Copies of this chain bind each other. A is one copy, B any other.
């Protein structure tokens, strides 16, 4: 039948037949055509999770902020620039997936206005008014709340202090199944490096320390969150 035929398109593995949506990379919020607010995310951790999910048999869509040249083989990649683009692309897809992992480092603020041309330098100080961007993960969580087949929801919390405390609060406030708490100031962790050490908090109160290459951490993370996926339709 058609369902079986569709399943046949997926590789075998514990995530065979599963659809995974993932955000990765930074966002850029432009104040004029050549200047923006951003962050140092390179997308490495998120892309490691995407590749791990694919190798376990899932169909993976990555909504990817600007990260330069990265390995896209086997992934459906949707390129975006700003937080608003990212929110739109996620909300268009999150109802149809089994797992949503929000690993992107979304800018929390954007300039209130964007100048049409490069702003010329002036001497004195300037003030830039910043307004909040959409909270992609919170909006996605609201969109699927109460659904019979709600995707598992996994967030990331990049912090520089009180990492686990802030992450636990975020997990509860956003209605997540798990959150990956990341002290981005720790050596061998965070932005741009190939290794990571994180604490995964789950909604049942679990707390799991993971460390290793980003690939190893990615695989261990997927093992931890698999139990939160909705039942597969028979």
A interface vs B, CB < 8 Å? 28, 32-40, 42, 66, 68, 105, 107-109, 112, 117-118, 121, 123, 125-132, 158-161, 184-185, 191
| Secondary structure class of chain A's binding surface, majority of residues | loop
A128 touches B125 (CB 8 A): no
Residue contacts A-B, CB under 8 angstroms, 23 given: A32-B160, A33-B160, A33-B185, A34-B158, A34-B160, A34-B191, A35-B39, A35-B107, A36-B37, A36-B39, A36-B40, A37-B37, A38-B38, A42-B68, A109-B121, A109-B126, A112-B125, A117-B161, A118-B158, A118-B160, A121-B132, A125-B131, A128-B128
Which chain B residue has the least Cβ–Cβ distance from A38? B38
Chain B min CB distance to A62 (Å):
18
Q: A36-B38, A128-B129, A128-B130 are in contact. List 10 more A-B contacts (CB 8 A).
A: A32-B160, A35-B38, A36-B37, A40-B66, A112-B125, A118-B158, A123-B132, A125-B129, A125-B131, A125-B132
B117 touches A160 (CB 8 A): yes
